[in-house]
């Protein structure tokens, strides 16, 4: 059968790649085209457009790139029609994918949405469009089942794909030492615009903790020059395609909000969650978003497990205070470990990629 998959950022590329592998295992004759990244391409799909050309974050940034976005949408529609897939698989990335879903439904194309848009956080009314346009919604967060039930929409919980990914890494992949000194990991995100804003603030910690080696995890889609321009002569290491290896041996992490916060928690690493964006975009978000927390860890646990430094709170002084606590407060670290263990239990042990692939195939048939 023929599958067309669309992901628009690094996390979608990761989960999409594992879905592609599972589809190949369950359908020996699978043909796939995708919008995504290097991982999805390596897994066996023909890459049409890389997510590095798609990842616009924030209201102001989206408006500034609206012409490019609309061109991408038009090109995507033409490519889908030319490929004639048996099923269209949309992976998160709602601003783009919801538009494609509405159009594809009118074309009679079957649609599976894997990794729900965060409609529980803002614009709940989008559920009406999901019910209208999406044939099967596959969710990865436990509370999403009850959320959609409130809207009389039956969804399928397949488990969180990171559980399987991180379990394999922890159990089967040996650690490759990065430094002789104790390590503090810095994950500044995957988009150039967020790296430019947050990494300079994160790097102010280097001078305050001279006994530690600060290591920056480079996003695979970003060039070395982006990081080196920001890091300059600071005594900081830069590693590429070694994020999990870094998380396994670090003592603490400065982590950009998003999927990375959950990955860090699953590795058991104490973390400070960092977010800072365009001031106008952030102000608009505060008027629209209805959730108490920004990190997936706190959202799933429904309590402030990890410290979140958001927008104006992300300062050198606040970051130093939070990082000191992570490194020196043994009672806090013990409580954090217990919460991380509970997080594992909440997410369960489902084989998310295989279950999602089976659902996709059933819709395609």
* pLDDT of 275 strictly over 80: yes
Beta sheet of 136-139, edge-to-edge order = 46-50, 31-36, 2-7, 87-91, 111-114, 136-139, 156-157
Nearest to 42 by CA among 258, 93, 50, 28: 50
Tell which wins on pLDDT, 196 or 284. Answer: 196
* Chain mean pLDDT for the chain: 91
* pLDDT of 69 strictly over 80: no
What CA dihedral angle connects 165, 241, 172 and 353, to 10 degrees?
Answer: 20
Tell which wins on pLDDT, 235 or 10. Answer: 235
2-159+350-364 matches 166-347 in fold = yes
Q: What is the pLDDT of residue 10?
A: 85
Q: What is the pLDDT of residue 310?
A: 92
Band the pLDDT of 59: cuts 50, 70, 90. very low
Domain 2-159+350-364 has CATH 3.40.30.10: no
Which helix (H) or strand (E) segment holds residue 137: the answer is: strand 136-139
- The CATH architecture to which 166-347 belongs is 3-Layer(aba) Sandwich (3.40)
Q: Each residue of 90-145: pLDDT tens digit?
A: 999 998 999 999 999 999 999 999 999 988 777 788 899 999 999 999 999 989 99
* pLDDT of 191 strictly over 90: no
Band the pLDDT of 61: cuts 50, 70, 90. low
Q: Each residue of 308-361: pLDDT tens digit?
A: 999 899 999 999 999 999 999 999 999 999 999 999 999 988 899 999 999 999
Q: What is the pLDDT of residue 293?
A: 86
* pLDDT of 158 strictly over 90: yes
CA angle, 31 then 34 then 36, to 5°: 145
The full set of domain ranges for the chain reads 2-159+350-364, 166-347
Q: What is the pLDDT of residue 327?
A: 97
Rg (CA), the chain: 20
DSSP letter for 355, please.
H
Which helix (H) or strand (E) segment holds residue 95: the answer is: helix 94-106
- Sign of the Cα torsion 103, 107, 108, 111 reads negative
**Span 182-202, average pLDDT:** 94
What residues does 136 pair with on adjacent strands? 112
pTM of the model: 0.85
* pLDDT of 236 strictly over 50: yes
């Amino acid at each position: 059968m023929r599958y067309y998959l669309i992901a628009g950022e690094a996390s979608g590329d990761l989960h999409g790649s594992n879905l592609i592998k599972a589809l190949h295992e369950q359908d020996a004759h699978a043909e796939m085209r995708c919008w995504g990244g290097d991982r999805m391409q390596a897994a066996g799909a023909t890459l049409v457009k890389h997510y590095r050309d798609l990842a616009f974050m924030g209201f102001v940034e989206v408006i500034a790139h609206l012409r490019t976005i609309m061109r991408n949408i038009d090109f995507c529609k033409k490519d889908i029609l030319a490929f004639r897939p048996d099923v269209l698989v949309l992976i998160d990335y709602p601003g783009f994918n919801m538009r494609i879903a509405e159009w594809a439904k009118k074309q009679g194309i079957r649609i599976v949405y894997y990794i729900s848009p965060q409609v529980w956080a803002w614009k709940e009314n989008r559920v009406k469009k999901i019910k209208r346009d999406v044939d099967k919604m596959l969710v990865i967060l436990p509370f999403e089942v009850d959320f959609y039930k409130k809207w009389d929409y039956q969804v399928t919980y397949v488990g969180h794909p990171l559980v399987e990914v991180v379990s394999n890494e922890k159990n089967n992949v040996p650690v490759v030492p990065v430094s002789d000194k104790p390590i503090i990991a810095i994950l500044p995100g995957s988009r150039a615009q967020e790296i430019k804003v947050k990494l300079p603030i994160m790097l102010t910690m280097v001078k305050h903790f001279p006994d530690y080696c600060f290591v920056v995890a480079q996003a695979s889609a970003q060039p070395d020059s982006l990081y080196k321009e920001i890091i300059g002569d600071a005594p900081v290491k830069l590693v590429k395609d070694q994020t999990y290896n870094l998380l396994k041996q670090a003592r603490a992490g400065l982590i950009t909000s998003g999927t990375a916060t959950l990955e860090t928690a699953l590795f058991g690493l104490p973390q400070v969650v960092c977010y800072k964006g365009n001031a106008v975009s952030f102000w608009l978000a505060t008027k629209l978003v209805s959730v108490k927390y920004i990190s997936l860890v706190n959202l799933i646990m429904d309590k402030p497990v990890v410290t979140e430094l958001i927008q104006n709170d992300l300062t050198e002084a606040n970051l130093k205070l939070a990082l000191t606590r992570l490194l020196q407060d043994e009672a806090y670290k013990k409580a954090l470990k217990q919460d991380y263990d509970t997080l594992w239990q909440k997410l369960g042990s489902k084989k998310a990629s295989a279950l999602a692939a089976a659902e996709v195939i059933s819709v395609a048939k």
